[in-house]
Each structure stands twice: as C-alpha cells, then as structure tokens.
Amino acid sequence: MKLHAPDSFIKGESYIFKFEAIGSSVKFPKITKIDNYLVEDLGTSRSLQIINGNYDEKLSKTYRIIPTKDFIIPSFSFTVNDEEIQSKEKKVIAKKIVKTDSNRFDLTLKPSKTSMYVGEDLIVKLIFKYKRGLQITNLGFEKPHFENFWYKRIDNSSRRYEDNGYVIQELDFLLFPQKSGELTIDSLRVDVQLVDTSNSSGTFGFFSAVPKIVKVYSNELKLKVNALPQDITLIGEFNINTNVDKLKIKQGESVSYRLDIDGIGNFDDIEDIKLDIENATIYDNKPEIKTKYSSLGYEGKYSKIYSIIPNKTMEIPSVSFKYFSKKEKKVIEKKTKAYRIEVINEKIEKVVLEKAKEKIEAKKEVIVKKESSFEEKLTYFIFGIITTLLIIGLYMYAKVLKSKKKNEDIPLIKLVKKTKSKEDLMRVLIPYIKSNSSLDELIYQCEGDKDFKVLKNEIISLLKNIEI
C-alpha cells in the first residue's frame, strides 16, 4: 500500500493525493472527510501486472481537498488479498505564499487605506501586468473570497493600458470589514497560460511549442479595523426625512407615509425599519436601496412607503436613526417629525343628523294635527295626486337613466384607472379589503412581482362584475 501525497500545500488551492494498492483482490475504504475538509473522489484507475506468472491488479484512487491550514492524512484500513492493511498517516504543512518576483509578470493588491472602522468602505485595487510580446493564450483568475469582509466588484472599474513595455490590467473591489482587529487579505493568484518556445526544436518553430501554466501570486494585505461604539452598526454621514400625503382622513381611508434616508455610508447594513402603531393596520413593502461608488464614497438612498389605516385619530411616531460619524468621531442620532392623523368619524355625524331629522318630523306632526277645512282637504287631495304622478315619473326617469349608465364606470373604477403604480393601487383599494375575497387576492398581489398593467386590468374587470 502506497500513499502519494505532497508534503505541503498553498492555502486555498487544491491538494491532490493518491492511494495505490496491488493484489488479486483490493478493497478501498470510503473517504469523505479529512480534518473536517470534504474529500472529493477524482476517480479510480486499474491496470494488470504479471509477476512470476501471477496476475495482479494495480488499483489507484485519486482524491482532492482544499485545506486552509496544516492537517494530517490519517491511517486508513485497506483489504488486499483478504488481508487488512493500515496505511501510514502523513502530516501536511501549509506553505507560506510569497509574492511572485519576476521581470515578466507582477500581481499587486493596493488598498485605498490600511486603517478603518467596522462597516467603513475600502477599495482594493488589483493590478496585473505582463511583459509586452509574451505569447499568452489564457489568463485564469478565480473570483476572490475576502474573508471577514462584505465585498463586491465595482462595475466599469476594469482598465487596460500599456506603460513602460508592460500591458497592465486593473480591477477594483469594494470591501466592508465585518469584524474588528487586525484582518488579513490573503494573496491572490493568476494562472498564466503561455506558449513556451524555449524548448521548441525542429523546423516547425512556434507550432511545436507546448503551452505551460505559470502561477503568479500577489502580496497579502494587513489591515487595522477599529470597532464601532456598542450597538452601532452604521458609519458615514446620513440624512433622514419623512412625509405623509394627508393629515385628515375619513374612517376606513389610508395614509401614505414615506421614509427616505440618503448620504454616504454602509447602506447595505441598514436594517428594515418597521412601524409599531396601536389602533392601526400597517402595510409596507420591502425597502428600495440604491447605491453607487463615487469620488465622495459609497453613496446610497434608502426609500420605503407605508400604507396606514387608522381606526381612530392617532399619531405616527418619530423614527430614531443612529450612526457613527467619522468626521465628528461620535454617535449621531437623528429623529424624524411625528404626525397627528385626524380621523373623521362619519357614524357620529350620521347619528346627529338622524336625531335632528326626528325633531323636525315631530314638529311637523304637531302642526298637522290642526283641524283642516273642506277646501284644504280638497287641495291636499289634488296635491297628493300630483305628487304621486310626479314620483312615478321620477321613478321611470331614474330607471331609464340607470339603464343608460349601466355600462359607465363606477367612481372606484375611475380611481383605479388613474393609478400609475402598484403603490397608487394599494392606496385606492386598501379601504375595500375584506369586501370581496377575489378583490382581496388581487390587492395582495400589489406587493408581488406581477406586471402592473396586467394587474390593473384584472382589477378593473373584477370591479365591473361585483358590488362594493
């Protein structure tokens, strides 16, 4: 039983090893993990050997793991010719990466700063250059993994130019440290596949050259990351504003409340802001966050809209927003304006009107009790006939008018047709929730990804066939 395995490896790169056994009957163990690293089976190869007239089978299995620190390949149990054999364990050492020193290639990581706070933006520029005239057939660059950092590549940051006999390529990455202390950004690697003409011979020249791969390593970065004050996760300079579309509403109507945050800072770390208001139903969508990197830093805007249906007059409370200002070296707290929303109770007004009406009717009854003459009775009789005919005429007119307007839009449909976004639809339709189950389903779809025009047409079609 033989183990073919290198004595060392480079962090983040594949480490490949192989077990080999010879016998008429060979059984390998199942290897799935080594030191908590997943083991990938790369396959098995077989061949026959004849030794002293005896046929033996040579089996070899190849494995791969991607370790990050020193580890041990333990002893495994193999069965060869019905005999159990133990392999020897082997210690494998993590090899320190050294930046490639070559007059043909260079790979450098350049940070915009070496000291920062948790959550503060950092630009790491990757600069790769190679000697002009090299016959490079391919460049292999794996997307980097910056441990302990939230990161992304900056769009349109790629540059390619020539300088002093070299072809230079640049790429920028935006990073945000997620923990404090001394953090390390490991060396990155580019695999350069180029044509090696130094070993070519014969008359075929270039066509007889065999491509080879050269591994080019960068420097590593050491960064000092300072902790933010306790319970603070945001750093930068922020502004927060709010507004409402109305301060006085009828019972059952909704108020649209908008919250906006803009400025410079780690916008991706802003937690979803929720409202907690008693005696009110609140509908909200996910916040919309837009960011870009500019000469000022990591600019952003956080926007969120809430639809609030209060049961009675209430107050939308002030929203508190805290962050660490690097300019002022202290925690800043900003609070938004509070809004008092007055709800007009139509039921109370209706009761008052009905009581006033009852008083008027009672007064009429007292007046009517007076004794009437024959002429007055005849006048009342004729007036009654005329009134009856007038009522019948008005009824017939209303019936004809109703038939003419049957196909005209009800006021709610007109309001729906005027909407220009899903948010507008929500504001118009929220007061009608629970009036019709089919309409409820369409209202809830306003918060989904369904096409606005399609959803709007479905709602209009439904409203024409139901009574609200």
User: What's the pTM value of the predicted model, to 2 decimals?
Assistant: 0.62
Map out the domains of the chain as residue ranges. 2-95, 105-226, 236-344, 411-463
pLDDT at res. 209: 62
* Third-level CATH fold of 105-226: Immunoglobulin-like (2.60.40)
pLDDT at res. 277: 93
Find the mean pLDDT for residues 23-48: 90
Q: Are 49 and 59 in contact (CB under 8 A)?
A: no
pLDDT at res. 426: 81
Other C-beta atoms closer than 10 Å to the C-beta of 228 total 18
pLDDT at res. 368: 43
Q: Are 418 and 454 in contact (CB under 8 A)?
A: no
pLDDT at res. 74: 95
pLDDT at res. 366: 43
Token pair of 64 as six digits: 């791969």
pLDDT at res. 361: 55
Domains 105-226 and 236-344 share a fold: yes
d(CA 461, CA 439): 11
Backbone dihedral region for residue 263 (phi beyond 0: left; psi -120 to 50: alpha; all else: beta): left
* Residues 344-361 as b or e (16 or more Cβ within 10 Å = b): eeeeeeeeeeeeeeeeee
Question: In CATH terms, is domain 2-95 a member of 2.60.40?
Answer: yes
Output 346-349 pairs: Cβ under 8 A, ≥24 positions apart: 346/250, 346/251, 347/251
Average pLDDT of the chain?
A: 85
Residue found by looking up tokens 């980097």 in the block = 144
DSSP string, 268-330: GGPPPP----TTEEEEEPPPEEEEEEETTEEEEEEEEEEEEEESSSEEEPPPEEEEEETTTTE
pLDDT band of residue 348 (cuts 50, 70, 90) is very low
- Tell me the pLDDT tens digit for each residue of 357-416: 555 455 544 444 445 566 666 677 777 788 787 788 777 766 655 555 444 557 888 888
pLDDT at 248 over 60: yes
What DSSP state is assigned to residue 148? T
Query: Which is it for the CA torsion 94, 99, 103, 105, positive or negative?
Result: positive
* Third-level CATH fold of 236-344: Immunoglobulin-like (2.60.40)
pLDDT at 457 over 70: yes
pLDDT at res. 428: 82
pLDDT at 67 over 60: yes
Q: Are 42 and 51 in contact (CB under 8 A)?
A: no
